[in-house]
Amino acid sequence: MLAMFLYGIGIIYTPGTINLMSMNLGLNKKFKSSIGFFLGASLAMFILFSVYGYTSEKFVKKEYLIYLSAVGSVYIAYLAYKIFRSKVDVESSSQHKMLGFKDGFFIQLFNPKATLTALPIATINFEACNIVGAKILLMSLILTILVFGAPVSYCLLGQFFSSFIKNNKTLKILNTIMALLLLFVAFSIFKEHVYDVLIGVRDF
């Protein structure tokens, strides 16, 4: 369960399309008028978590979990590397038009990062933590609240710390922290759901 939330935080709170757009909304002092944008993006993630969660529950068997976990841990480690190496530029994502609920919903729904966030959680962590049935909706809602906090945080950062943020060094430090966090998650998933399972089989 801890690995699931750490992975979610590591991915959701790194700079991406929605987060950088939200930061620019903050830089332009549009926090209050952008609540709909944040809600739309969050609803899209709730749908992705729920759909992938129920699809996984129906089609992914428990014996497949070790293979999904192996692939997932390697994939998360790769994401950590990409995040660490990525360059962030707030100015290049600058926009000044008003963004509403519909904008947030469709941008997030078709955002590759959203799928990369929801899919590993729904196919690996939900199954591993025995999150099934109605629990999928509940956990999707909890994760969606976490998602909502990301663009809100970036927008507030943009609004109140604009001079500090515009040099991009802050985002680079954040990227490094999140990359290390994701590496820890990748190691935890591999150890718990692959290595320990294989050792247990051998011991048996």
- The pLDDT of residue 62 is 62
- The pLDDT of residue 204 is 41
Compute mean pLDDT per 10 residues along the chain, 204 residues long, and list them: 82 83 84 95 96 81 72 80 72 62 92 82 84 93 95 91 68 77 80 82 50
- The pLDDT of residue 139 is 95
Contact (Cβ atoms closer than 8 angstroms) between residue 88 and residue 172 = yes
Q: How wide is the angle at C-alpha 41 spanned by C-alphas 157 and 117, nearest 5°?
A: 90
Please give the model's pTM, rounded to 2 decimal places.
0.73
Question: Which residue shows structure tokens 């089989």?
Answer: 201
